Structure 1
Amino acid sequence: MFMTSRRFLLAAAFSAGLGAPAQAQFGQPNMGTGPKLPASGAITRDTAYERKVLENITAPAGATMTLFAGPPIAMYPTAVAPSPDGSVYVGVDLNLAQGAVKGRGRVMRLVDTDGDGRADRYTTFLDVDSPRGIVADGKTVYVMHPPNLTAYRDTNGDGIADDSTDIVKGIGFGLDVRSSDHSTNNITLGPDGWIYVAVGDYGYLNATGKDGNTITRHGGSLVRVRPDGTGLEIVTVGTRNIYDVGIDPFGHAFTRDNTNDGGGWDTRFHYLAPNANMGYPSLFRYFREEHMPSIADYGAGSGTAGLWIQDPGVPDQVNNSLFTGDWTTNRVYHHVLTPKGASFAIEQHDYMTVPHAIDIAMDDRSHLYVGSLIGGVFNYAGDTVGAIVRVSFPGKTPSKPPTWASASVAQLVDAIVSDNAVHRIWAQQELARRGASAATVTRLGQLAGDRARPAYARASAIFALKRLAGERANPTLVRLADDPVVREVALRALTDDRTHVANVPVNLFVQALQDTSYFVRVQGLNGLVRLGARDRAQAIVPLLTSPDSALAHLAVQSLAALGARDVALAALTAAGSSPALRTRARMVLQQLHDSATVGALLGALGSSSSADVKHEALLALARLYNTEGPWTGDWWGTHPSTLGPYFAPATWEQSARIRPALRDALLAAQGDDFRALAQTFVRNRVLPAGAEALLAAVSTPGDPSRARLVDALAGASQVGDAAVALLPELDRRGAAFHTAVAELLAGETTFGAPTLPLARAAALDTTLSPEVRGRLLTAFSQLSGDAGRDAAVAVFALVTPRTAAPRPPSPPAGTTGDPGAGVPGVGVVKSGAPAPGAVPAAAAAAATPTAAPNAPAGAPSAVEQAWRRYVGSFDRFQQLDYFAALTKSADEAQRTLAYAVLLQAARASSRSPMLAPVREKVAPVIDAAWGDPTARTSLVDAIHIMHVESLYADKLKVTKEPD
């Protein structure tokens, strides 16, 4: 649902998406489903709660606020949706992010009968799990409740849904699979008549619309579908955990994304252009040139609401602009967006202070509704959470809507070109429901062509015309494409419905690629893709070298979507092609996983006389060696691998054909060329991450080990059995080889049975640099399963810092300053290997970390930093029973490690009331240790190591400390 910054999470002690909540780990979780409400009734005003809420919200200048609704009627709000009939629908979900108890969700219909800004009547419109997004158009209420998007109707007027149709199935996962955290979120009805769906990075597996269209995506994206369930499609990919989008009058979609808690991706603000890849998680870190640039990066935060407001009843200085919310920063922001190339420049301004802002929505009478999860965290925590606040602007004249249900067609057509965005959208919905006469179509065409009207009004008329008239609108839209004011929108509308493009002139879109407006160029690209115009792909090539990075990215994506292999290959191999053109052409080719592309690149590699062409062809082949592995619906967690270029690289039918080219290139390269090639192959996961040093060590001409090692490593992202068999032999060659073997192991993200003993020995080898050992330990810290946990404990127990001269260490980069609280390492390490045997005490002493030679005085070594990250990881909170039992171990080193983990848990729980169950679990174990001389020795050691003497000062005073 939402995700916060790591700093906030450590203060709160548990995070959305980091496994089960603390209550579930350390005691019976709260399984309540909240108060039982009558199906309908009056709402009693709670003035005390109203004061509490309003005291914590800062209203915009000149605005007034009322508490529209709160608990128990509108508690735990997840979405707010005003309706044309004056009612307001609120999604209620007591599970919030982490709960997965069925029966906690509902959609409430609220009515303010006396116009005082406070709801006084309600009905429970619908009981439904996980209501994440709502759109209400007066007749139909669309509810996104993973895994389905459903249209509900109240056919008898009692305020309760009695008819429903699933318009998309499987767009996310239900509570039988997981909580709704990072799942499918809010929905927005765009000015083009499509429902836009903000999908979190859990993704969807075979989501299916009413017409049978099916989409799959592992990861975050923006999806859209017609209100009747047809045309389901992906708009943009590579977002993280977006919760909502705001859409301007011309159909540009914007979103405030979520930070990944210290993993290098902060709260990015995106323009979600069609066909763009925003880069999460596989491109943003190491392949920045390959993804669509975001507009801004706002640091730590948790983006939620998104809304474009255009209403003459709001102050001029904020009208016709975008607003977003952030759950972590407790703000609603106002944004000024200015076109910049094929994207936008942005200004961000504070608009409101709102505790845990979750959604914002406008009605048709110039009232802003703001949803707040005030008092909430990540799960159900009692019945006094949440509020809906209504903001009004008494200094402005509010908009006056028609009576939508009884409005004449003429009134609705007039509303299509209103200066109120809500009026325009609801008018289009009502016209679409009634159907369009020839006179209505004619009138919409006239309004679209009326140059005296504002561009937003003409755009609205164009969208309505296309939606209502289908192919009949195309001749009018072709004419409008000559008008630079509405050319972008006319081109977009022409191909918006893929079933109505038979007679659309392709040349319009080819010409658009050279338009002075970059946004028209974007629609030229989008239209060619939607028309499947591969035969016109050559016209896209000049845009590959655009100095505008957004446009160049979209050109690459368009050629790849068209499968324009021959055009891209010609651009790569043509004499005189610029370096930028060759690189971007390669970016196209490396996305085309087919035998013809592989054959063409192998041919270019073998026949070209240009070293630059050969280089780009080889890079494309390195990328094509793997493809994205199959996905069966599991989640990648809050810290997925960001190594890229694939999340789960997997070989495919052409990999064996590509491998000899990679092998031959490695064997032929020397010196700087070899180092550059090895780094590129590592980056593309066709060499293990730590392979460069060892390959360089066997680069002496005539060394027979070179070919054997290259054979063992080429095409592999991890050290396999063939390489493992060579490592002992190479390790014995001397110090340089010994270090290079350790570097190879330190680059691993998984230790199988053959590599685990080697990695363990290297991690404990004090002749190696602390940096190499620290990387090895980081990999050990991520071992999964019981065997992996035991293997990690056996190693970390032997690198526990000494207790002499206690000092508070500098926190590792990316942590909060809490010496024991660290950020988990990158990657997910898996192991089915058995735990190693006991290690002699002498080895433990030898393995004690020392600071790096060039480290600042008093700074912890990389080994100690890795140790403290391990002890302070949130994963240890989920293993407290294991470490409590480990305090009884006969191995002193393991006892000390166990107490260090428990002490870190005690320290964290002392700072957070929410972690009372943690205190209740660890305190008795620590208390008992003071009465056991053997346990006390390990405990006191751990107290000094963790620098928590102040928490146990009284006990230490009366305890004889060990020598």
Structure 2
Amino acid sequence: MYGRSADLQKTRFSNETQTPSPAVIAASPYGDVFVGLDLQGSLGKKINMGSIKRLRDNDNDGVAEEVSHYVSVDNPRGIVSIGNKLIVLHCTQKDGKVYGQDISVFTDANDDGVADGPGKVLVKGIGNPKFIQSRGADHCTNNIRLGIDGWLYISVGDFGFVDAEGTDGKKLTCYGGGVARVRPDGTELEMFIHGTRNVYDVAIDPFMNVFSRENTNDGVGWWVRFTHYIQSGEYGYPCLYKNFIDEMIPALGMYGGGSGTGALFLQEPSWPAKYNNKALMADWGRSQIIIHEVTPDGPSFTNEPKKFLEVPQVADLDVDASGRMYVAAWAGAGYQGSSSKGYVERYVPVGWQYKEFPSLTKNSNDQLLDLINSESATARVYAQQEILRRNDTSMSNDLIKLAYSANTLEARVAAVYTLAQLAKASAFPALEKLAKDPLLREHAIRLLGDRKSFNQSANIKVVVQYLNDSNPRVRVAASVALGRMNNVAAAKELLAMAIAPKSKAAPKDENADQVSKFTSEKVDPNNSLVDIEFDISEFKSLTLTIDSLDWDTGDHAAWVNPVVVLKNGKEIDLTKVKWQEAKGSWGKTLVNKDCQGNALQNLKGEALKGIGTHATSNIVYTLPQDAVTFKAQGTITKGASSSASFKFIVSEKIKKEGPVKSGTKCSNPNPDMIVPHVARQALVNLGAHDLVIDALNSGDSKLQKSALGVMKFMHHKKVIDALEGAYNQANSQLKKDIISTLMRLQQKDVDWDGSTWWSTRPDPTGPYFEPSNWEQSTRIAGIIKLHLASLSASEKAVALKAVEKNRCNLDGKVKVADAKPKKLGDIKIADSAIEDIVIYIDKNKGDAKKGAQIINTVGCISCHNTAPGMTVKGPDLSKLSHLSKADLAESIIKPGASIAKSWVNLSLKDGSVYMGTIVKESKSEIILHNIAGVPRKIATSQVEKRESGLNMMSVHLTDGLSLQQFTDLIAYLQSFSEK
């Protein structure tokens, strides 16, 4: 793991009394650290519970000596420091209650660490009042980050917003999640991308690549996905990523459970190369900062995640221009905040030397240009802001020269972006010339179309010529730019680019040449065995792997009746053979027992013969030379979640670590589809109806295919007229394609007014979240029904499946929701987000008597103490009554989050590892009880490493409980008295 003491020096920059519940953090280039405190967390709905503190480390010892109260704001969610101004995303108040969200700018002209007065609103209403009031701020608009292109990028949770308004009066609505952007003065508010779940922050590199580690809901759980956001792109949540994957840009990878929070692209020359020029992504759920190393792949990237730092419930991170990194740790402050938990850490490389960053306002123009030529991304972006503040257009020629001569490509690009912002439309001739340089071309072309407020004066022909550039990144930039220039002159060229490639297959397994894969889908308890037989005649060794796929922490599984068949037909029973190695993600690998040491049984409680383990797991055997076949059955075992699914893999080598390989194409990079995608988006943005109609009527099959692909997104009478007319003249194949397009157009998504939210488990069926009729729906239904009547029985059956997939409403009736929706309290824990669970138990009363029965049914008693005098095994549940409902819930759903701090892994110098509860500890000795309550004395001198142990409690232990039953369990745990 990265980030060991040999590499980095860590200090506690501020403690829990100075900065409790730190939700967001931002550093000025000089090292002033602004921390947004949210004492009510993500689910609180009170007012006057938030503030921003300014921290200063005057002697550079890594500890803040000066802490000032900068300003009070509700739910601070994003901070950007520019000069003596602080731009803040925060909640607002109305009628004494928390309301929506604004982006405001505050000023501290005298540098006393206190805002001079109320903030000026830059963007009004960029949050959803209804759900912030009813639920809290957990899916609200989340963070802001400044790019070298001068835009503030705004991470929008899936509450969305309606009619947010900038200082120029421009309004914007976002249905669901995405990334919006606005100029730092509050003008030109617009969407950048759409189709995310609850993105908290983005990392932006010096070449304006925008990355995020956010989570989504793939219908099974909340899995982290790492994504490259390309302007105008649609990222598919929740309506496309299940059944309409070819219409969205996929993620770069999906990595199991987690909760992405703050993000930073680090480029500071004082940092070692293995950390520098990397996307650093915080994951609150995993308490880690993870480096995602990206490698160019056409217009996008592939990536490899690596653990960087472990920080308890890390919320955010930032860096100053001297290379000091600041990290906000939520550290157990809970879903409703805490006044006594949370802190800020500072990290610097070992051997790092402090170098004061110069005062930008005192620098000459030449000195500012030198900073643009810096190797520090932080220095470049803030030097740019000072140049723009001065608005001295005489610097334009110097910036042009720097664009050709700077020391690094990053600095050259920074000069180009600074020129474009300083000179605005006057920069266009220079940008056209800079576009001739292949290294600067994508940026110059992008900037010709970047600002809608004046891009109409750019030469569209210059942009069009680069649609056929050999570099796919340039083709993307040209397509996006043309879609923003409000000129359909290039529509024909865009249409030629918009022909979608064939769907890319799911990724090939790294062991595919020698692995047989068997996947147990959502398990039917009555049919849970998977037959396995595989040729191993070329193997020298045998590895049996159970891959947990997307399941967050795996589950209990087994190889049933595993045998190796020899050439002579003799069978070797592997339950009687000693393996070379056996590793599972938790518990043990045992013969005829499950990973907890219980008798091996299936879900129905029937005895099994085989090898029990906990996925993901590997069991390695040495094979005799005459081994030819492996045979077994794969199954999940009693104690596992009924939602679990696995892939049973037979191979010669252990499966490599890597992203979740579930065959999910929504997280399978597909660079070939990006250019067609953004070209399609450009045509839709331009409203190029006439052009696509002409293409449909052209007789050119390629153009017709492209036109129909674009028309799917054009709910316009003119388009329906053209489709109906073309249908009547078309051959049989074209008729099918036209009907397919009409099926997609028969419904549209609801005209959203902010009054609904799809909750934490939305219906991913698609193509619309809430399909509704529009003025052409009845007409389209008639065309489709006539087509269906003309088909044979087999053809009609296929067509009806497409009708169902597109959720067409052919009878004209408005769909009515179930009149008897399921009671909230009856919903299972397995089907609920942890936030939903916390909200329910907070609002509803539990029955402690019922909880006393439930604690036996879920098996807590076998591992925990509930009364004085019991043998100490796991954490003592009778001592937890002082904990809040939220902390208890989190500790059960996410074991070890708030309790079980005494549960540890002790690695000894002889290589042995012991797991259990520390019952007593002195300078010389530790007494550890294992899960059976058996004590072990360990000499302190023999301990090599101590780590928080993975809680032995199954993370799916309570999946089968309803919300109300879980509330009863919590009531029981809180009923114990301290006596």
Structure-2-length-normalised TM-score: 0.67
Residue matched to 2:664: none
> Quick check: 1:595 aligned with 2:595?
no
- SS for the counterpart of 1:496 is coil
Residue matched to 1:446: 401
Residue matched to 2:43: 98
Q: Distance in 1 between the 2:203 and 2:837 partners? A: 36
Q: Distance in 2 between the 1:467 and 1:122 partners? A: 35
* Alignment match of 1:566 (pick from 679, 686, 690): 690
Contact 1:356 1:372 in 2 (8 A): yes
Residue matched to 2:76: 131
Residue matched to 1:209: 166
Contact 2:29 2:378 in 1 (8 A): no
Contact 2:216 2:224 in 1 (8 A): yes
User: Using a 3 Å threshold, how does the CA distance of structure 1 residues 878 and 106 change in structure 2: closer, same or farther?
Assistant: closer
Contact 2:40 2:336 in 1 (8 A): yes
Q: Distance in 1 between the 2:36 and 2:418 partners? A: 29
Contact 1:445 1:462 in 2 (8 A): yes
- Where does 1:285-684 land on structure 2 (aligned, <5 Å)? 285-381=242-338, 383-396=339-352, 400-438=356-394, 440-450=395-405, 453-545=407-499, 547=501, 548-572=672-696, 574-575=698-699, 577-578=701-702, 583-608=705-730, 610-633=731-754, 634-684=756-806
- SS for the counterpart of 2:830 is coil
Q: Deviations over 1:667-710 (max 9, x none)?
A: 333332111111111111115xxxxxxxxxxxxxxxxxxxxxxx
Q: Distance in 1 between the 2:290 and 2:489 partners? A: 45
- SS for the counterpart of 2:389 is helix
Corresponding letter in the other structure for 2:58 = T
Q: Distance in 1 between the 2:337 and 2:152 partners? A: 30
Residue matched to 1:18: none
Q: Distance in 1 between the 2:403 and 2:818 partners? A: 63
- SS for the counterpart of 1:132 is strand
- SS for the counterpart of 1:74 is coil
Corresponding letter in the other structure for 2:152 = I
Corresponding letter in the other structure for 1:751 = D
> Quick check: 1:239 aligned with 2:196?
yes
Structure-1-length-normalised TM-score: 0.68
Contact 2:480 2:679 in 1 (8 A): no
Corresponding letter in the other structure for 1:193 = G
Residue matched to 1:728: none
Q: Deviations over 1:316-362 (max 9, x none)?
A: 22212211111111111112212212211111111111111111111
Residue matched to 2:234: 277
User: How far is the alpha carbon of 1:454 from its aligned partner?
Assistant: 2.1
User: How far is the alpha carbon of 1:597 from its aligned partner?
Assistant: 0.8
User: Using a 3 Å threshold, how does the CA distance of structure 1 residues 902 and 622 change in structure 2: closer, same or farther?
Assistant: farther
Corresponding letter in the other structure for 2:378 = V
> Quick check: 1:193 aligned with 2:134?
no
* Alignment match of 2:24 (pick from 56, 66, 79): 79
- Where does 1:751-900 land on structure 2 (aligned, <5 Å)? 751-752=818-819, 782-783=821-822, 821-823=829-831
Q: Deviations over 1:128-173 (max 9, x none)?
A: 0010011112211011113100110013332111242111011113
Contact 1:255 1:271 in 2 (8 A): yes
- SS for the counterpart of 2:710 is helix
Q: Deviations over 1:469-525 (max 9, x none)?
A: 111211111110111110011111222221222331111221111111111111101
- SS for the counterpart of 2:370 is helix
User: Using a 3 Å threshold, how does the CA distance of structure 1 residues 677 and 398 change in structure 2: closer, same or farther?
Assistant: farther
Q: Deviations over 1:155-213 (max 9, x none)?
A: 33321112421110111135545411110111111011111111111111101110111
Corresponding letter in the other structure for 1:389 = E
User: Using a 3 Å threshold, how does the CA distance of structure 1 residues 453 and 717 change in structure 2: closer, same or farther?
Assistant: farther
How many pairs does the alignment contain? 696
Q: Distance in 2 between the 1:360 and 1:880 partners? A: 36
Q: Distance in 2 between the 1:87 and 1:457 partners? A: 25
Contact 1:275 1:554 in 2 (8 A): yes
User: How far is the alpha carbon of 1:661 from its aligned partner?
Assistant: 0.9
> Which of the two has greater strand per residue?
2
Residue matched to 1:167: 122
* Runs (5+) with no aligned partner, structure 1: 1-55, 688-712, 721-749, 753-779, 794-819, 826-871, 888-897, 922-942, 953-963
User: How far is the alpha carbon of 1:228 from its aligned partner?
Assistant: 0.6
Contact 2:334 2:887 in 1 (8 A): no
User: How far is the alpha carbon of 1:379 from its aligned partner?
Assistant: 1.3
Corresponding letter in the other structure for 1:107 = I
Q: Distance in 1 between the 2:29 and 2:157 partners? A: 29
User: How far is the alpha carbon of 1:246 from its aligned partner?
Assistant: 0.5
User: How far is the alpha carbon of 1:902 from its aligned partner?
Assistant: 9.7
Q: After superposing the two structures, state which structure 1 stretch, 619-628 or 456-465, moved more.
A: 619-628
Contact 2:30 2:357 in 1 (8 A): no
User: How far is the alpha carbon of 1:394 from its aligned partner?
Assistant: 3.1
Q: Distance in 1 between the 2:682 and 2:853 partners? A: 54
Corresponding letter in the other structure for 1:412 = L
User: Using a 3 Å threshold, how does the CA distance of structure 1 residues 917 and 329 change in structure 2: closer, same or farther?
Assistant: closer
Corresponding letter in the other structure for 1:823 = D
User: Using a 3 Å threshold, how does the CA distance of structure 1 residues 920 and 85 change in structure 2: closer, same or farther?
Assistant: closer
Contact 1:69 1:389 in 2 (8 A): yes
* Alignment match of 1:111 (pick from 56, 78, 95): 56
Q: Distance in 2 between the 1:919 and 1:338 partners? A: 40
User: Using a 3 Å threshold, how does the CA distance of structure 1 residues 879 and 77 change in structure 2: closer, same or farther?
Assistant: closer
Corresponding letter in the other structure for 1:388 = V
User: Using a 3 Å threshold, how does the CA distance of structure 1 residues 878 and 282 change in structure 2: closer, same or farther?
Assistant: farther
Q: Distance in 2 between the 1:639 and 1:188 partners? A: 28
User: Using a 3 Å threshold, how does the CA distance of structure 1 residues 93 and 884 change in structure 2: closer, same or farther?
Assistant: closer
* Runs (5+) with no aligned partner, structure 2: 92-100, 502-671, 867-874, 890-957, 970-979
Q: Distance in 1 between the 2:469 and 2:253 partners? A: 26
User: Using a 3 Å threshold, how does the CA distance of structure 1 residues 183 and 821 change in structure 2: closer, same or farther?
Assistant: closer
Kindly report the root-mean-square deviation, in angstroms, between the aligned alpha carbons of the 2 structures: 3.3
Q: Deviations over 1:22-73 (max 9, x none)?
A: xxxxxxxxxxxxxxxxxxxxxxxxxxxxxxxxxx995465110111112221
- SS for the counterpart of 1:206 is strand
Q: Distance in 2 between the 1:588 and 1:489 partners? A: 27
Residue matched to 1:812: none
Q: Distance in 2 between the 1:590 and 1:904 partners? A: 52
Contact 1:312 1:398 in 2 (8 A): no
Corresponding letter in the other structure for 2:349 = F
- SS for the counterpart of 1:258 is strand
> Percent identity between the aligned chains?
33
Q: Distance in 2 between the 1:160 and 1:920 partners? A: 38
User: Using a 3 Å threshold, how does the CA distance of structure 1 residues 254 and 919 change in structure 2: closer, same or farther?
Assistant: closer
